[in-house]
Protein backbone atom coordinates (compact mmCIF):
# COMPACT_ATOMS: atom_id res chain seq x y z
CA UNK A 1 0.00 0.00 0.00
CA UNK A 2 1.02 3.59 -0.68
CA UNK A 3 -0.83 6.14 1.47
CA UNK A 4 -3.54 3.56 2.01
CA UNK A 5 -3.99 2.95 -1.72
CA UNK A 6 -3.44 -0.30 -3.58
CA UNK A 7 -0.52 0.19 -5.98
CA UNK A 8 -0.05 -2.25 -8.84
CA UNK A 9 2.81 -2.17 -11.34
CA UNK A 10 2.13 -3.52 -14.83
CA UNK A 11 4.74 -4.53 -17.38
CA UNK A 12 3.76 -5.15 -21.01
CA UNK A 13 6.48 -7.55 -22.14
CA UNK A 14 7.85 -8.97 -25.37
CA UNK A 15 11.17 -10.85 -25.35
CA UNK A 16 12.29 -9.18 -22.12
CA UNK A 17 13.99 -12.14 -20.42
CA UNK A 18 17.46 -10.53 -20.39
CA UNK A 19 16.40 -7.34 -18.60
CA UNK A 20 13.36 -8.37 -16.57
CA UNK A 21 15.19 -9.46 -13.43
CA UNK A 22 17.16 -6.20 -13.25
CA UNK A 23 13.98 -4.17 -13.76
CA UNK A 24 12.14 -6.14 -11.09
CA UNK A 25 14.97 -5.71 -8.58
CA UNK A 26 14.71 -1.92 -8.76
CA UNK A 27 10.96 -1.80 -8.08
CA UNK A 28 10.22 -0.33 -4.59
CA UNK A 29 8.44 -3.48 -3.42
CA UNK A 30 7.72 -2.06 0.03
CA UNK A 31 5.04 0.13 -1.59
CA UNK A 32 3.85 -2.15 -4.40
CA UNK A 33 1.02 -4.60 -3.75
CA UNK A 34 1.37 -6.60 -6.96
CA UNK A 35 3.46 -6.75 -10.12
CA UNK A 36 1.65 -7.92 -13.25
CA UNK A 37 3.46 -8.93 -16.43
CA UNK A 38 1.66 -9.70 -19.68
CA UNK A 39 3.88 -11.64 -22.09
CA UNK A 40 2.71 -10.88 -25.62
CA UNK A 41 3.78 -14.10 -27.31
CA UNK A 42 7.52 -13.85 -26.62
CA UNK A 43 9.89 -16.27 -28.31
CA UNK A 44 12.26 -16.26 -25.32
CA UNK A 45 11.69 -17.35 -21.70
CA UNK A 46 10.22 -14.07 -20.44
CA UNK A 47 7.28 -15.83 -18.78
CA UNK A 48 9.49 -18.36 -17.01
CA UNK A 49 11.71 -15.61 -15.60
CA UNK A 50 8.67 -13.65 -14.44
CA UNK A 51 7.12 -16.64 -12.69
CA UNK A 52 10.42 -17.43 -10.98
CA UNK A 53 10.42 -13.88 -9.59
CA UNK A 54 6.90 -14.34 -8.22
CA UNK A 55 5.32 -11.97 -10.73
CA UNK A 56 1.62 -12.34 -11.59
CA UNK A 57 2.15 -13.57 -15.17
CA UNK A 58 -0.25 -13.74 -18.10
CA UNK A 59 0.84 -15.16 -21.45
CA UNK A 60 -0.73 -14.46 -24.83
CA UNK A 61 -0.58 -17.47 -27.11
CA UNK A 62 0.22 -15.12 -30.00
CA UNK A 63 1.41 -11.54 -30.32
CA UNK A 64 -1.56 -9.16 -30.33
CA UNK A 65 0.38 -5.88 -30.24
CA UNK A 66 1.67 -3.39 -27.71
CA UNK A 67 -1.68 -1.65 -27.30
CA UNK A 68 -3.56 -4.93 -26.92
CA UNK A 69 -1.01 -5.98 -24.32
CA UNK A 70 -1.62 -2.80 -22.31
CA UNK A 71 -5.38 -3.29 -22.37
CA UNK A 72 -4.90 -6.68 -20.72
CA UNK A 73 -2.43 -5.16 -18.22
CA UNK A 74 -4.90 -2.52 -17.08
CA UNK A 75 -7.88 -4.86 -17.10
CA UNK A 76 -6.00 -7.28 -14.86
CA UNK A 77 -4.81 -4.53 -12.50
CA UNK A 78 -8.37 -3.30 -12.04
CA UNK A 79 -9.58 -6.83 -11.34
CA UNK A 80 -6.90 -7.13 -8.66
CA UNK A 81 -8.25 -4.02 -6.93
CA UNK A 82 -5.72 -1.37 -7.98
CA UNK A 83 -6.26 2.23 -6.90
CA UNK A 84 -3.14 3.36 -8.77
CA UNK A 85 -1.46 1.61 -11.70
CA UNK A 86 2.06 2.36 -12.88
CA UNK A 87 3.25 1.01 -16.22
CA UNK A 88 6.97 0.44 -16.57
CA UNK A 89 8.63 -1.42 -19.44
CA UNK A 90 10.61 -4.50 -18.38
CA UNK A 91 13.52 -3.59 -20.67
CA UNK A 92 15.16 -1.39 -17.98
CA UNK A 93 15.05 1.69 -20.19
CA UNK A 94 13.15 3.64 -17.52
CA UNK A 95 14.18 3.66 -13.85
CA UNK A 96 11.71 1.63 -11.74
CA UNK A 97 12.97 3.47 -8.65
CA UNK A 98 10.68 6.37 -9.58
CA UNK A 99 7.51 4.25 -9.31
CA UNK A 100 6.68 5.39 -5.77
CA UNK A 101 7.31 9.06 -6.66
CA UNK A 102 4.98 8.88 -9.65
CA UNK A 103 2.31 6.99 -7.72
CA UNK A 104 2.49 9.50 -4.85
CA UNK A 105 1.55 12.32 -7.20
CA UNK A 106 -1.62 10.35 -7.97
CA UNK A 107 -2.44 9.25 -4.41
CA UNK A 108 -1.99 12.86 -3.23
CA UNK A 109 -5.06 13.75 -5.27
CA UNK A 110 -3.23 16.40 -7.27
CA UNK A 111 -3.03 14.44 -10.54
CA UNK A 112 -4.91 11.67 -12.33
CA UNK A 113 -2.09 10.85 -14.78
CA UNK A 114 1.65 11.21 -14.17
CA UNK A 115 4.27 10.80 -16.89
CA UNK A 116 7.94 9.97 -16.52
CA UNK A 117 9.37 12.44 -19.02
CA UNK A 118 12.65 11.85 -20.83
CA UNK A 119 12.69 15.49 -21.89
CA UNK A 120 11.88 17.34 -18.67
CA UNK A 121 15.04 18.45 -16.90
CA UNK A 122 17.41 16.29 -18.90
CA UNK A 123 19.07 15.53 -22.22
CA UNK A 124 17.82 12.23 -23.66
CA UNK A 125 20.49 12.32 -26.35
CA UNK A 126 23.08 11.77 -23.62
CA UNK A 127 21.17 8.63 -22.62
CA UNK A 128 21.45 7.33 -26.16
CA UNK A 129 18.14 8.37 -27.73
CA UNK A 130 18.60 8.33 -31.53
CA UNK A 131 18.71 11.82 -33.00
CA UNK A 132 15.85 11.16 -35.44
CA UNK A 133 13.62 10.03 -32.57
CA UNK A 134 14.47 13.12 -30.54
CA UNK A 135 13.66 15.45 -33.44
CA UNK A 136 10.39 13.63 -34.18
CA UNK A 137 9.52 13.72 -30.46
CA UNK A 138 9.94 17.50 -30.31
CA UNK A 139 8.01 18.19 -33.52
CA UNK A 140 5.09 15.92 -32.66
CA UNK A 141 4.95 17.24 -29.09
CA UNK A 142 4.81 20.83 -30.34
CA UNK A 143 1.97 20.00 -32.73
CA UNK A 144 -0.01 18.16 -30.08
CA UNK A 145 0.44 20.84 -27.43
CA UNK A 146 -0.93 23.41 -29.89
CA UNK A 147 -3.93 21.31 -30.95
CA UNK A 148 -4.71 19.59 -27.65
CA UNK A 149 -4.24 22.76 -25.62
CA UNK A 150 -1.84 21.12 -23.15
CA UNK A 151 1.72 21.87 -22.03
CA UNK A 152 3.33 18.45 -21.74
CA UNK A 153 7.07 18.06 -22.28
CA UNK A 154 6.42 14.92 -24.34
CA UNK A 155 3.62 12.53 -25.33
CA UNK A 156 5.75 9.51 -26.17
CA UNK A 157 7.14 8.18 -22.90
CA UNK A 158 6.27 4.60 -21.96
CA UNK A 159 6.45 5.36 -18.23
CA UNK A 160 3.02 6.30 -16.83
CA UNK A 161 0.94 6.28 -13.65
CA UNK A 162 -2.87 6.29 -13.68
CA UNK A 163 -5.61 6.54 -11.13
CA UNK A 164 -8.27 3.86 -11.11
CA UNK A 165 -10.82 6.44 -12.26
CA UNK A 166 -8.86 7.11 -15.45
CA UNK A 167 -8.59 3.45 -16.39
CA UNK A 168 -12.25 2.76 -15.62
CA UNK A 169 -13.59 5.67 -17.63
CA UNK A 170 -11.45 6.12 -20.73
CA UNK A 171 -12.81 4.14 -23.72
CA UNK A 172 -9.52 2.29 -24.06
CA UNK A 173 -11.02 -0.69 -25.85
CA UNK A 174 -11.63 1.58 -28.85
CA UNK A 175 -7.91 2.33 -29.12
CA UNK A 176 -5.42 0.71 -31.44
CA UNK A 177 -3.72 -2.56 -30.47
CA UNK A 178 -0.53 -1.09 -31.98
CA UNK A 179 2.06 1.37 -30.63
CA UNK A 180 -0.14 4.44 -31.16
CA UNK A 181 -2.28 3.21 -28.24
CA UNK A 182 0.04 5.19 -25.94
CA UNK A 183 -0.67 8.45 -27.72
CA UNK A 184 -4.39 7.83 -28.06
CA UNK A 185 -4.61 7.24 -24.31
CA UNK A 186 -3.01 10.58 -23.45
CA UNK A 187 -5.17 12.42 -25.98
CA UNK A 188 -8.24 10.82 -24.41
CA UNK A 189 -7.13 11.84 -20.93
CA UNK A 190 -6.76 15.46 -22.02
CA UNK A 191 -10.05 15.42 -23.94
CA UNK A 192 -11.99 14.16 -20.92
CA UNK A 193 -10.40 16.65 -18.54
CA UNK A 194 -8.13 14.53 -16.38
CA UNK A 195 -5.23 16.26 -14.63
CA UNK A 196 -1.69 15.58 -15.86
CA UNK A 197 1.60 15.83 -14.01
CA UNK A 198 5.18 15.00 -15.04
CA UNK A 199 8.46 14.12 -13.39
CA UNK A 200 11.92 13.97 -14.91
CA UNK A 201 13.04 10.44 -15.71
CA UNK A 202 16.50 9.47 -16.97
CA UNK A 203 16.42 6.80 -19.66
CA UNK A 204 18.90 4.32 -21.07
CA UNK A 205 19.25 3.14 -24.65
CA UNK A 206 21.32 -0.01 -25.02
CA UNK A 207 21.38 -3.16 -27.11
CA UNK A 208 19.00 -5.18 -24.92
CA UNK A 209 16.48 -2.35 -24.54
CA UNK A 210 13.43 -2.58 -26.78
CA UNK A 211 13.15 -0.06 -29.58
CA UNK A 212 10.91 0.11 -32.62
CA UNK A 213 12.47 0.32 -36.08
CA UNK A 214 12.54 3.38 -38.30
CA UNK A 215 9.67 1.98 -40.37
CA UNK A 216 7.52 1.44 -37.28
CA UNK A 217 8.56 4.85 -35.93
CA UNK A 218 7.26 6.47 -39.10
CA UNK A 219 4.01 4.54 -38.82
CA UNK A 220 3.72 5.61 -35.18
CA UNK A 221 4.32 9.25 -36.14
CA UNK A 222 1.56 9.10 -38.73
CA UNK A 223 -0.69 7.52 -36.13
CA UNK A 224 0.04 10.40 -33.75
CA UNK A 225 -0.96 12.91 -36.42
CA UNK A 226 -4.15 10.93 -37.09
CA UNK A 227 -4.96 10.96 -33.35
CA UNK A 228 -4.38 14.72 -33.26
CA UNK A 229 -6.75 15.19 -36.19
CA UNK A 230 -9.42 13.09 -34.46
CA UNK A 231 -9.01 15.23 -31.34
CA UNK A 232 -9.43 18.39 -33.42
CA UNK A 233 -12.63 17.04 -34.98
CA UNK A 234 -14.00 16.02 -31.58
CA UNK A 235 -13.08 19.16 -29.64
CA UNK A 236 -13.66 21.89 -32.18
CA UNK A 237 -16.07 20.46 -34.74
CA UNK A 238 -18.05 18.23 -32.34
CA UNK A 239 -17.50 15.17 -34.51
CA UNK A 240 -15.99 12.68 -32.04
CA UNK A 241 -14.56 9.38 -33.19
CA UNK A 242 -15.21 6.37 -30.93
CA UNK A 243 -11.99 6.95 -28.97
CA UNK A 244 -13.39 10.30 -27.79
CA UNK A 245 -16.87 9.11 -26.83
CA UNK A 246 -17.87 7.87 -23.42
CA UNK A 247 -20.22 5.43 -25.09
CA UNK A 248 -17.15 3.68 -26.47
CA UNK A 249 -15.96 0.43 -24.93
CA UNK A 250 -14.43 0.99 -21.52
CA UNK A 251 -12.31 -1.09 -19.17
CA UNK A 252 -14.82 -0.93 -16.34
CA UNK A 253 -14.66 -3.86 -13.95
CA UNK A 254 -16.00 -4.54 -10.47
CA UNK A 255 -13.38 -4.27 -7.75
CA UNK A 256 -12.36 -7.57 -6.17
CA UNK A 257 -14.91 -9.48 -8.25
Q: What does the alpha-carbon distance between residue 148 and residue 229 come to, in Å, rounded to a whole number? A: 10
Residue 251 lies in a domain: no
Other Cβ atoms less than 10 A from the Cβ of 236: the count is 9
Whether the per-residue pLDDT at 206 is higher than 60: the answer is: no
Q: What does the alpha-carbon distance between residue 184 and residue 197 come to, in Å, rounded to a whole number? A: 17
Q: What does the alpha-carbon distance between residue 127 and residue 206 come to, in Å, rounded to a whole number? A: 9
**For the residues 2-6, what does the mean pLDDT come to?**
92
Whether the per-residue pLDDT at 208 is higher than 70: the answer is: no
Residue 45 lies in a domain: yes
Q: What does the alpha-carbon distance between residue 26 and residue 47 come to, in Å, rounded to a whole number? A: 19
Domain count, the chain: 1
Whether the per-residue pLDDT at 121 is higher than 90: the answer is: no
Residue 250 lies in a domain: no
Residue 236 lies in a domain: yes
CATH number of 103's domain: 3.90.550.10
Residue 2 lies in a domain: no
Residue 249 lies in a domain: no
pLDDT tens column, 55-97: 999 999 999 999 999 999 999 999 999 999 999 999 999 999 9
Q: What is the mean pLDDT of the chain?
A: 93
Q: In what order do the strands lie in the sheet with 34-39?
A: 56-59, 34-39, 7-13, 84-87, 160-163, 113-117, 196-200
Residue 252 lies in a domain: no
Residue of 163, 179, 159, 146 lying closest to 117 (CA atoms): 159
Residue 1 lies in a domain: no
Domain extent for 212: 7-244
Amino acid sequence: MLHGKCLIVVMPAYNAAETLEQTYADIPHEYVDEVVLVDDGSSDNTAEVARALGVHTIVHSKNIGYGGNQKNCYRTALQLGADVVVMVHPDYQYSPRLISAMATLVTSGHYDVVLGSRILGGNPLEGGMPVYKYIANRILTLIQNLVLGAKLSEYHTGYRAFSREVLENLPLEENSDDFVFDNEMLAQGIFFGFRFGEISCPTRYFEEASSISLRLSIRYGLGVLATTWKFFLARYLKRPAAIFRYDGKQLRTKRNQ
